[in-house]
Every structure is written in C-alpha cells, then in structure tokens.
Structure 1
Amino acid sequence: MLETKSICPYCGVGCGLILEVDNNLIMRLYPDQDHVVSRGHICGKGSTAHEPGNSWDRLLYPLKREKDVMVRTSWDNALQEIATKLLEIRKRYGPEAIGFYGGCQNTLEEGYTMMKLARALGTNNVDSCARVCHDPSATALKEMVGLGATSTSVTEIPRSKALVIVGESLTESHPVLVQYLSLLKKNNGKIAVIDPRTTGTAKMADLHLKSRPGTDIYLFNAVANFLISNNLYDRKFVEDRVDGFEEFSRLIKSYTIQEAERITGIEQHIIVEFARLISQKPVIFSWGLGLTQTGGPKAVRSLINLALLTGNVGIDGAGLLVYRGQTNVQGSGDLIKPNVFPNGPMALETAKELEKIWGFLPPMREGKTVTEALLGSDMKAIVLMNFNPAVSFPNRRKVENFLKSLELLVVMDPFMTETAKLAHYVLPSAMWTEKEGSVTSLDRIVKWRFKAASPPGEVKEELEILSLLADRLELKGFSRDPKEVFKEMKTVAKTYSNLTLDQVMDYSTPSRYPENDTVLYRTRFYTSNGKAKLKFEEQPEPKSGLILITGRAVTRYNTDEMISRTPGFSQLAPVIYLNLKDAQRLGIRDNDLVKVTSRCGMAILNARISPDVLEGTVFAYMHVRSINNVVCDELDPETKTPRYKYTEVSISKIENIY
C-alpha cells in the first residue's frame, strides 16, 4: 500500500491528508498529524474526499454538442475545433468577446496558466469564483493595509483575549477550526459573534450580537465613535502607524450607540460590552461571507477600522482573519483578476515586465468580471474550468439563458454538471487526487498536492488541456509541468517570490507568503508609506422587507457535485427557516409547503419554524439548488460581488390543491 500526501479539496483551511493507494485506487485517507494547521484533525467531508473520484458517472472522454445531443469526440478534434472557433470569434468580434473563468479548487498553476492563455489571446476577461465570495475582503485589505489576505493565522486564536467572528459559522463551514476556538475558551479567551442567526458558532460565543442584515456598517461606526469618545482606542498606534484619523473621527461622530440599537436591533448594553471587549489586546477580527455578501467592501473596511483603532494588528494573538470557503480561493483571487495583472496594476510598466517573461505584451484594456460576463454581457465565447455557475450564480435562469446564447461554451470538469449540460464542448478533467500542484489556504500557507493516482479513461490534467489548446492556437510558452509553472508564477507574482518548492512540499513547516512570519505588519504595513489607512463608510438605508439569508451546511459543499457522489451523504431537504412571529403573521405552520418569491424568481420549499432565525429574516442553505432561482443578481457596485445574503422576498403558503 503506497501513501501520498495531499491537501483536502474542500474549504480554505487546507487540511493535510494522507492517501492510501493500491493498484491506482485510493482505498482510504486519514489526517496528516504533521500539518501545521490541521494538526491531525479532519471533518466528515474531508474524511471521504477521495470517494467522488470513484464515481460511476465520471466523464471519461471529450464530448461535443451536435444539435441537442452530446456525442463522443477525440481530443485532437475537440481541441482543434475549439481553437478554430476561438480564433474566428476573436476575428469577428474582437478579443473582448472571449472570456476564461475558473473555479477555486483549481491549483495555483492551473489558474495562472488559464489567466496567461486568455491574455495571450488578447483578452483581460479573466476571473475566478473568488469574485463571488471574498473579493470585497481582498479589495478592502489591499487598500487599507497593503495585502489582500489574512494578516494573522488561525493558530494564533488561542493566544487572543477575544475573537470577533462576523457573518460566519465555523461549526458549519470550517469545522476543523473549532479546535482553536476550544483552546481559546480553555485559555479564558472570549468569543464575540455578529450574525443575524443563532448558528452553532454563536452558541459557543460569550457575546452574540444578533444584528439585522445590512446594518453592520452602522454598528461598527457606532463602536468606533464610542472607542474614540471614551479614549478606549490605542492613541500611540494610531498616531505612529495609521493615516486618516482626524477626518475619520470627525465623520464618525454622528454614529451613536443609541441610534445603533434602533437600526441594528442590538441592545445598547451589548454594543457597549462588545466595544469594551475589543478595546483590549490581543484581539483577532475575523469575518466570512455574511459580511462580504451583504455589505461588500464598505462593510469590511468598517470592521478593519476597529482593528486599527485598537492597535490589534501586527502583534501576536491579534490581526485580521478571513474565512475563505474553498481550498484555493485565496490563490485564485491573488492571481486572476480582470483589472489587475498578476505582478501589479494594469499599467505599461507591469505589462512590459510580463512581456519579458511571457514573450508577449498583455492587453491593457480592463476586462469583465465573471459576474459582469454571465449576468449581462454581449460576450460570445467562454471557457470555464471546474466552475458550475449555472447552479452557483444568483438569478439562475438569467445565467442559463446567457450560457445558452453563446456561440462557444467550453467546460472542463470531471462531471456532467448543470453548466456542462449547456456546453458545446465538455473536456473531462482530472480530480484533485489525479494531479499535482499547489494551493493557498486562508492562512496564506502554500502547500503542494502530490499525485496519488492516474486519471481514468481519456481524462487529462488541466495543465495538459491548457497547453494542448495553446499549441492549437499557436501560442508558445505554456508548460504542462506544474513545477515549471510554479517557478514562473512566483517570478511573476511577487507576493509569492519568497517561496521554494522544498518548503511548499514540506507539510510540517509553514510556507506563507509574502513572508514566512505568521503575523504580518509588525513594523510597517505594505502600503506606499508603510502606514495603514482608516476609511470611513456611510451606512446605506437598510432594506425593510423580509430578507433571505443563505448559508452553509456542515454536510454539504457548494453546488454538491462532489458530495452528491459520496456514499453516506444524503440529499439536503429543500427547507426554508422562519422565525415564529413571521410565521404567525404569514399564517404559516411548521412543515407547510410555501412559495418563496423575489423580483428574480421563485422556489417551492418546506417551511421550518426556528428560534435561531431573527424576526424579519428567513434562512435557506445555499446548497438547495432552487434557492438561487430566488437570490437576485444585485451586485456590489465596487467589486461586482453578488449580495447572496441580502435578497428581499415574500413568502406565501401553498394551499392543499387536492
């Protein structure tokens, strides 16, 4: 029995695994005791992550659409026809009519190569699924402290006096991290959760601020004003290391604790208790999709302000922590953006740097985000790599209609997903166990996945598919060797330049970027003048209707393509959870069949009355496929991130028709 080390393909913790392989078949896996973060822990999903690779319905050879039927074709024919059609579309409509978009389970090398190939074709229409989750985090962090990533580590949580968690339930989304929450409480540290719902994590908290959706900015501004007015902020830290305090303190004065109670629904004494809790050191400020998919970068900036005011950045046991939801969403967001080159701003200087390495000058015109592309563009050809937007995107019917309208849709995926069913060409790609390459965790740790088995049938690794397509397009410089791509990538992406393959392949040692220190910003921030920036944001008018919030279930994962092919995991019931008062007002009882409607669409679900749901809100799991028929395609104007957790809906009981 052979043993191979790898990284779990699910959430952004990036747990270390050991795969047991016999005769090219992965028999089982178990957690790696040496991994620097997971430390021998594993969740239920991770413990069965190898099973989908053995699924009976793996795609085994390329498929081509002929009228309404998918038929088998050869790799040579498929790639040649795709290349010919891409060149024809570029000639007819220009390179801006073409886009390349990837999921966040792809390796760094795959995402980098996809992005490079798009730019070699002359388009900056490149993006990843990081757009729909944490681009608001990356945007705010980059602007305020200089790097769009976590500034500390989950391993620092036990050293904190307090951990603030906004819009995230680790018990459902990142269960392996609960070990660190338990250690924190054992060390007499406190947990403060800000979330409209009483989640499993909120039940562990010492303080739960049950805020109304869309009111986080007012809450954070009121707390900031309280800290300044009561001299509870770190004056020396702010004077020495932070810009913009005078203007910020002036603008924040109109935000009061009293008004915060009315707007957020949180009692004044709880807000004050929270303010005093975070005024000490060290404190970690952490957040998830409940913040980014409601208030966008404005809400993230308002939370970062509190960490800067209290001096809780750049010291042990403190900092800014982002809960990333996929195994390489951090790395995908680092490398693949339509308005930024992987080596810096979209400017002639950075373009010429790339030309020296790539052998071609990339285009300078800003591209379309994946949400702009799929929710209202006139693009003609799209290549998707391990991405299932026909299920995962809001306003699903609109996305499906757009994908059907394309002259060319190419999907690389191990399975016939809902998106693949709409494609002109489906190219079978390898599972995570059948290839190698690196991924970046939410901790900024870059680790290597080692290949454990060969792909079945005619399945190819993504790097080989991309390099073969580049050959057909007569483009040079595209390697299928992940180690060679890694070396080029870290030459281009300067934030990764400190890493070596030896470090990345050793699970027992940290290999963090842009430096190996667990805690960033000890002496200076990565801004032009070395100082952080306070950024005041105004609270927009909150929505007043019934608000649909979506979230994760611990037994499910995103669009469920892998989980649905894992023995032992049952189908998630199509349920929507209501507060008792809302249910009574609407005449709905437990288990009633209800119609949930928004301006974008509707779904039929079973009602469940739950004390965990805040009055004025309803909750549904994001994995219920019909829910994105209801979630609207309202995008944050700055980052184009959908507001998945902030859709106004109406609910009505479906009367018995029999």
Structure 2
Amino acid sequence: MKSICPFCGVGCGLELMTANNVVVSVKPDPEHVVSRGHICGKGSVAHEALTAWDRLYYPLKKVKGQLERTSWDDSIKYTIESIKNIQKKYGNDSVAFYGGCQNSLEEGYLFQKLARALGTNNVDSCARVCHDPSAKALKEIVGIGAGSNSATEIPKAKVVVVAGESITDSHPVLIQYFLEAKKNGAKIILIDPRTTRLAGFADLHLKVKPMSDIFLFNAVGNYLIQHSMIKQDFIDSRTEGYEEYKENVSKYTIELAAEQTGLAEKDIIAFAKYVSEDRVIFSWGLGLTQSTGTKGIKSYLSLPLLTGNFGKEGAGAIVYRGQTNVQGSGDLIKPDVFPNGEMNDANSEALSRIWGFKPPICKGSSIPETFYGSKKIKALFIMGYNPVRTLPDRDKVKEFLGSLEFLVVQDIFMTDTAGYADVVLPAAAWAEKEGSVSSLDRLVKWRFKAVDPPGIARPDYEILSDLAKAAGYNFSANPKELFEEMKKVATVYSHLNIEDVMDYTKDSRYPNGELHLYEEKFATKSGKAKFVPVDAEKHNDGLILVTGRTVTRYNSDEVVNRIPGMQGYNLKLWINPADAKNIGIEDGTMVKLKSKSGEMDITAKITDDVIPGVVFTYMHNPRINDIVSPEFDDETHTPKYKYTPVTVTK
C-alpha cells in the first residue's frame, strides 16, 4: 500500500508491506515525484512505532483523579458537555483547540471547523512554533505563505543559499538534488554558526553570530544597490516599496555587517556577488525562523526581489519545513484568519453558506499567547500535539495545564501532556487511516490506509465528526468528501484534483500545479511583490545556546523512542575550544548549562564545529526545553529556540 513518510516535510513516498493487519516492512516508492525511490534511516523503520507497547487502545476518563477506561459514547458526550458548561460559565472564548502537524489536511480542516462551530477562533497548530514566521513573511511579500519552488528545481539553480538548516540531518533525501546541482556547476552557500555536513560541499560558509542575520542581509542588499548589481526592470515592473527599502538599508555597510556578524568583509562581498546571479534559490530552515524570525525572513526575501530571482525555474524561495503536514496545518489552522482568507464579515458569511453556521469574527489566541500569559482559557482540546515535551520553559507549561478546568488530549500515545488530561481519546496513526498531506514544497499527496488501528482507536476525522454530532452539527467523516469541501473553502487548495493527489507520479501542487510560482504576477492584492524594510538589533555577547536536529532522531523523539533499538542517546553540549579554555573544561567534562528558565548537567564536547560564543545541542532530548527561554518573535509569537542566553560552568 502506498503512503507518505510520517516524519519530515519532504513527504517521501513509501510502499507498505502488510501481514495479519500489521505493517511488517517499508520500502521507498520509486515512482514518487520528489523522493524518487529514496528514504532516510528514520523512514525505513517508520512502521515499527505503529505497534509500540504503549499505544492507546480505548478512551480514558478521569474519575477521582485517576484515568479509567470508558466507552466512545461516554467520552464523546462528556467532552462536549464539559466544553459547553465551561463556555456557559466563562464565554465561548474560554475554550481553545490546538493541534499538531502530523494530521492530514482533512483532519486539520475539520478540527478548526469544529472549534468555530463551538463559537471560538482559539485555534492553532504547532506550525506556530516553527515556520509561522516563514508563512507570515511570504504571505506579506509575495502573497502565499509557502515556498515558491519545488525542491526538484534545485539542480536547475546556479546558486543555492541555505540559511539555518542542516539538510543532511533534517531533510536527508533532498541531498540528491544538491549533489545534482553541484554536478551541474551550482554554487552552494551555507549560512550557519556551526559546521554541518552540508558545509563539506559548500562553496562559501558564512558562520554568522546568532541573531545577526538582518545585519548581513541588509548590508548585502545595500551593496547590490550601490554597485548596480540589481535587476532594475524587475524591481520597477514587479515590486513596490523599493525606495523605502533602499533608504532603510543605506545605513547598513559591509563594515557594520562584518562587525555584527563576525564575518570577514570579503566573505560578505562574495555572498553579495553570488546572489546577484540569474538563477538563485534562497532557502532556509528553523535556524532563521526561530531566531530573527519574521523580520529576518523579510530582510532575506528582499535579496531575490532585488536580483529578479522569482518566477522562473531554479529561482525563488524554498522553506525546509520539519513535519509531513506542517505546511497544510499552517495553511488551514490559524486564530487570526479563516481558511478562506481574512477574518472579516464577508468571509464569515461565505463560510456560513458552506458550513451551515457563521463562525465568529474576533481574533483568537495562539498557542504561545495561551500558554504564557492568557487567563481566559479554562478548557483545552489538544490533537496530536505534546506541548509539555516541546514548548520552552516547561514549568510554565505545566503550571498552565494544571490551571485548566478541563483538558482533552487526542493522540496515539499516552504522552506527557495526556497525563494532565480529563479525557484521553485514542487516535489512529498515519498508516491506519487515509487523507492528504502537503509537503514543504507544496506537493499534496494522499496517504492510503494499510492496516486497522489497535483496539477501538479511531481516525481523527471520525472522532471529530462524532464530537460535532454531539454538539448538534452534521460534519462528514469521509476524508474524500472533506477533501472536496476543503477545496471549496481554502483558495490555495481549490485547484487540486483528488486523482492527481492519489497519483504519486504527478506534480499535484497549489494553486495551479506550478513547480514554481509567480511567473507573471505575485499573489498579492496588487500583483506585485513588496519590499518590507526592517532594522537589525544588537544582541547579547555572552554564550548563546542553539539547538538543532540529528539525522537519527526526530523532533521530541516521541515516536523514535518507541522504535526498537533507537531508544535514547548520549546528549552532549558542543563548545568551541576558546570558550572551553575560558570556562576551564576539557572534552568529556560534565558541565552545568543554565538559563533564566532552568538548568541541567550535560557532557561537554569540545569542537571547532561551533563558533566562539555559541554552544549547541540536539533538540530531541526533552530536557533541553527546561533550558530554552520563552522569548518570542514579535509578529508571530514563535519561540526563539535558536537563541537562549546561557552560562556554562563546571
């Protein structure tokens, strides 16, 4: 049976072999249009977590402080009654619905629809805490909150810039395209404070200090303008806001950028010359979104506008998203916009004609707004998301969950968050249901059901449909019907054809199936892309903790730790030799890593792979989120996981 890998945003095609209602093996699908017969080590054992020893088999309900087995009828009825009682007491906005990014497009669509049927826009997904800055910046500048190019176009580029992303660790299957690009003569530019494996074949590695990206991008923009290395015809005919941008970046010199980034002036100039080429792909990962965030991406995206690198093959923007359907969740589940556009009366009326009810217009609360300060949320519904394990400053997260009057967790495992729940609803996993997912480069593909879920666990769309019925609404539980309804609502998916989505050999992308967008016009109201001037800020000169991925692990390790032979690993803190000398430690020394949020003991790894002033460790061990501080992006409230001031002592 064909399926899509449940891990990163590449969305590799899989073929699942089954026996006696068990997926017994996985192999790569040679027909898949992007992965082309490749999978990584995680994908090859993805099926093994399906039979984990602690899968949820039946609904649970808290009775006298203990979770006890209950029926589906009782859990559904109790959930809706409890939510409605709380809303009657505190108002509709006292309830929030927050989901993960492993669910299908149809399930995400149904999830936010249920929340709005119950009268609240407090809906969000974990796309908020990773690439929401990317979506917001792209939406404002080019009109669609997604990358403009397919990953398959990387070999067509003359230059590929990678900012804040370790391809070999996070999206290893895409390395095939980088190798092809190198074979074709392309130059690879890496912007990262540590030496990743990609640095081994980069033509230029810019080891920037954390949070200094805007100094770099603004200075390069100014240099391109001053040296007439821009595409003035493209700027004049296809963009707006150029003069304001030009004036703003005029104060950002190469000298200032060198001082703030720690880079050599000659390397900054070399970067400017590389990006002035005709076919350049500007790509980035969490190293950018979870540090300088929305402002950093706006500054970065000015470079392809200056050089005319949008709207053609091998030229544009690619976002390295971390989960299978994080693009889709970000498209559909937001507290400040509807799936059909802006949160206004006209769009609410349009939705009422499809849904049979009019959703509220007032802006809802995002995940960070709720967990770090909101006092209005009294009940919370969480689907496929584990904030206790993944959000920063864990003590505050636990404190908030403990303050709730009612918590529902719908998941496949008994997670840390589920331990706080009043009701736990057992969900089917990725291979036990069907539905579509949207990859990092806008490719939408269908997952086909291979086996039944364990016990009486059920697909999320069936659970959500039954919850809606208990609340007095008739929502479909058929994923194909939901797909067609979603197309009517979400403009970016309106041109999809379900037959193409189910065919792994075809490029099914939105809005019109283009491998690259914006050949003739941008998707903004004016049809032109926007230069958005932003300013850089000077930051802490002390030690900064940066987190990242390794190829054998995945996110918070919730799934990987349930795969036999992959449980646990030796967590280390990477420290530059100069910093180690100042601290007075050697390789292998146990050190204390401390921030304003918490502290932990960890083994030091002395290496030149990180620059002085930066310490690095992998994000996968949940102890790290005791250390990461809850500093947020100004525009999206995305946590700055890649920038935590710390101290390191023996």
Query: Counterparts of 1:505-520 in structure 2 under 5 Å?
Result: 505-520=502-517
Q: Which residue of 2 aligns with 1:210?
A: 207
Query: Are 2:646 and 1:618 equivalent residues in the alignment?
Result: no
Provide, for residues 310-364 of structure 1, a one-character-per-residue CA deviation record: whole Å limited to 9, x for no partner. 1010011111110000000000000000000000100000000000000001011
* Kept in 2: contact 1:214–1:543 (CA 8 A): no
Q: How many residues align?
A: 649
Name the CA distance, whole Å, in 2 between partners of 1:238 and 1:12.
32
Query: Counterparts of 1:114-513 in structure 2 under 5 Å?
Result: 114-378=111-375, 379-474=377-472, 476-513=473-510
Structure 1 residue 66, shift from structure 2 partner: 2.6
Name the CA distance, whole Å, in 2 between partners of 1:565 and 1:264.
41
Name the CA distance, whole Å, in 2 between partners of 1:246 and 1:618.
39
Q: Which residue of 1 aligns with 2:525?
A: 528
* Kept in 1: contact 2:260–2:538 (CA 8 A): no
Compute the RMSD of aligned alpha carbons: 0.9
Query: Are 2:602 and 1:599 equivalent residues in the alignment?
Result: no
Provide, for residues 216-271 of structure 1, a one-character-per-residue CA deviation record: whole Å limited to 9, x for no partner. 00000000010000001111111111111112111211101111111100000011
Q: Which residue of 2 aligns with 1:556?
A: 553
Query: Are 2:580 and 1:574 equivalent residues in the alignment?
Result: no
Structure 1 residue 24, shift from structure 2 partner: 1.0
* Kept in 2: contact 1:573–1:624 (CA 8 A): no
2:149 is aligned with what amino acid? Answer: T
Match of 1:635 among 632, 635, 638: 632
Gaps of 5+ in 1: 654-658
Structure 1 residue 570, shift from structure 2 partner: 4.0
Secondary structure of residue in 2 paired with 1:605 = strand
Q: Which residue of 2 aligns with 1:656?
A: none
Relative to structure 2, which stretch is displaced further, 69-78 or 80-89?
Answer: 69-78
Secondary structure of residue in 2 paired with 1:412 = strand
Name the CA distance, whole Å, in 2 between partners of 1:82 and 1:595.
44
Q: Which residue of 2 aligns with 1:584?
A: 581
Relative to structure 2, which stretch is displaced further, 355-364 or 20-29?
Answer: 20-29
Relative to structure 2, which stretch is displaced further, 538-547 or 320-329?
Answer: 538-547
Secondary structure of residue in 1 paired with 2:558 = coil
Name the CA distance, whole Å, in 2 between partners of 1:150 and 1:651.
38
TM-score (norm 2): 0.99
1:472 is aligned with what amino acid? Answer: A
* Kept in 2: contact 1:225–1:249 (CA 8 A): yes
2:305 is aligned with what amino acid? Answer: L
2:48 is aligned with what amino acid? Answer: E
Provide, for residues 572-601 of structure 1, a one-character-per-residue CA deviation record: whole Å limited to 9, x for no partner. 222211111111101122111111111111
Secondary structure of residue in 1 paired with 2:545 = strand
Name the CA distance, whole Å, in 2 between partners of 1:84 and 1:529.
47
Name the CA distance, whole Å, in 2 between partners of 1:372 and 1:529.
32
* Kept in 2: contact 1:498–1:515 (CA 8 A): yes
Name the CA distance, whole Å, in 2 between partners of 1:566 and 1:485.
32
Name the CA distance, whole Å, in 2 between partners of 1:30 and 1:279.
41
* Kept in 2: contact 1:394–1:633 (CA 8 A): yes
* Kept in 2: contact 1:64–1:70 (CA 8 A): yes
* Kept in 2: contact 1:16–1:31 (CA 8 A): yes
* Kept in 2: contact 1:632–1:647 (CA 8 A): yes
Structure 1 residue 547, shift from structure 2 partner: 0.4
1:409 is aligned with what amino acid? Answer: L
Name the CA distance, whole Å, in 2 between partners of 1:542 and 1:306.
23
Name the CA distance, whole Å, in 2 between partners of 1:147 and 1:431.
30
Gaps of 5+ in 2: none
Secondary structure of residue in 1 paired with 2:453 = coil
Name the CA distance, whole Å, in 1 between partners of 2:154 and 2:357.
45
Secondary structure of residue in 1 paired with 2:597 = coil
Provide, for residues 275-306 of structure 1, a one-character-per-residue CA deviation record: whole Å limited to 9, x for no partner. 10110110000000000100011000000000
* Kept in 1: contact 2:216–2:261 (CA 8 A): yes
Provide, for residues 422-467 of structure 1, a one-character-per-residue CA deviation record: whole Å limited to 9, x for no partner. 1111111101000000000011011100000011111111111111
Structure 1 residue 80, shift from structure 2 partner: 1.2
Structure 1 residue 67, shift from structure 2 partner: 3.6
Moved over 3 A (4+): none
Secondary structure of residue in 2 paired with 1:254 = coil
Match of 1:96 among 93, 96, 111: 93
Name the CA distance, whole Å, in 2 between partners of 1:39 and 1:264.
39
Name the CA distance, whole Å, in 2 between partners of 1:649 and 1:635.
17
Structure 1 residue 568, shift from structure 2 partner: 2.7
Name the CA distance, whole Å, in 1 between partners of 2:470 and 2:191.
52
Structure 1 residue 545, shift from structure 2 partner: 1.8
Match of 2:19 among 17, 22, 26: 22
Secondary structure of residue in 2 paired with 1:294 = coil
